[in-house]
Amino acid sequence: MDVLSDVIALMRTGSPRSARVEWRAPWGQRFPSVPGSAGFQVILRGAGWLIPPDGDPIALSMGDVVFFPHGHGYAMADSPSTPLAEPDCDPLDEGHGLFADAPVDGPVSAVLLCGGYRLDPSRAHPILRELPDMIHLPARLGLHSELRAAVEALGAEIQRPRLGADTVVSSLLDLLLLYILRAWFQGEHGHCSVGGWTDALADPGISAALDAIHRDPAHPWTVEELGARAGLSRAAFSRRFGALVGRPPLTYITWWRLATAARLMRESDAPLGQIAAKVGYTSEFAFANAFKREYTVAPGKYRREVCPLPTGELLKT
């Protein structure tokens, strides 16, 4: 897979949740901090205010998308002065509503699409750690057309569930998350920064090298070969990759191979030797030593203690 697809596959866990909510003024609700999660709000119709824990309220209009990649708390309301309802549960817990009871009388003043994803901090890719506490993608004509299409499809599916709705909604939520991240990294955000994953993904050469690593982690990559993919000399590529990604090329490759192996162990009961080969280790012994250095436990113990699975689930190819 490519870099962003791999990031989502690595760190998202469980089933995402979403809801389409019609608000009648006055309305306001606080969304508590939920560690190990990411949340979003989309204004489908009308307008509203985002009330962050720090700083001034932010006016939101139809089509605006707000994303909270680190699970920080915030509030939404029709006006900064409206009292806020307090939820009495974790909004991502199954069996609970995402919201306090919304008013049922009066005209609808705003329609919001909102939800969240469970994340595993122990699996987090460094690309996620560099994201700000809040990402605001204002609606602008001609921008983020794929994101808008995903939002419309998701809103329609939630409003009128049909056969297969559970699978469609789950897939659209993953698509929405990818489009939000794509819009952020391909936008003008962070262009004034020096270094980091925003610049790494925007750099054609480094991005090409990262894409090659993620699409084929088992390949015996060398710095020279990756430098050629990037159109740079070995030394120039190594310097630039380290400055933007934060690790030397071969160190990043090893880290990614082991992260991929950990994901495969969580998702399948394939033999360890097969997983080792799939991520580029010809020796199961060498794989076990490398894995233990990174995760502090042997692969077998990691599988037993972190990710027990029923038998019979095969490794996906």
Check if 197-246 and 251-306 are the same fold.
yes
Segment 96-123, tens digit of pLDDT:
444 444 555 678 889 999 988 988 777 7
DSSP class of residue 197 equals H
Question: Residues near 153 by Cβ (< 8 Å), separated by ≥ 6?
Answer: 172
Average of pLDDT values for 113-140? 85
Which residue is it, tokens 């990262």? 210
Q: Is the pLDDT of residue 191 over 90?
A: no
Token digits of residue 184: 């952020």
- 317 vs 175, residue with greater confidence: 175
Domain regions of the chain by residue span: 3-186, 197-246, 251-306
Q: Could you give the CA distance from residue 281 to residue 273 in angstroms, rounded to a whole number?
A: 9
Secondary structure element (H or E) that encloses residue 285, with its range: helix 284-295
Please state which of the ranges 44-58, 60-74, 85-99, 178-192 shows the lowest mean pLDDT. 85-99
Superfamily per CATH, domain 3-186 = Regulatory protein AraC (2.60.120.280)
CA angle 133, 139, 144 (to 5 degrees): 85
- Whole-number Cα distances in Å, 308 to 124, 266, 296, 311, 316: 20, 7, 18, 9, 17
Answer yes or no: CATH 3.30.310 is held by domain 197-246. no
pLDDT value at residue 104: 57
Segment 213-239, tens digit of pLDDT:
999 999 999 999 999 999 999 999 999
pLDDT value at residue 182: 87
Token digits of residue 298: 């042997």
Please state which of the ranges 176-180, 264-268, 313-317 shows the lowest mean pLDDT. 313-317
Q: Which CATH number fits domain 251-306: 3.40.50.450, 3.90.950.20, 1.10.10.60, 2.60.40.10?
A: 1.10.10.60
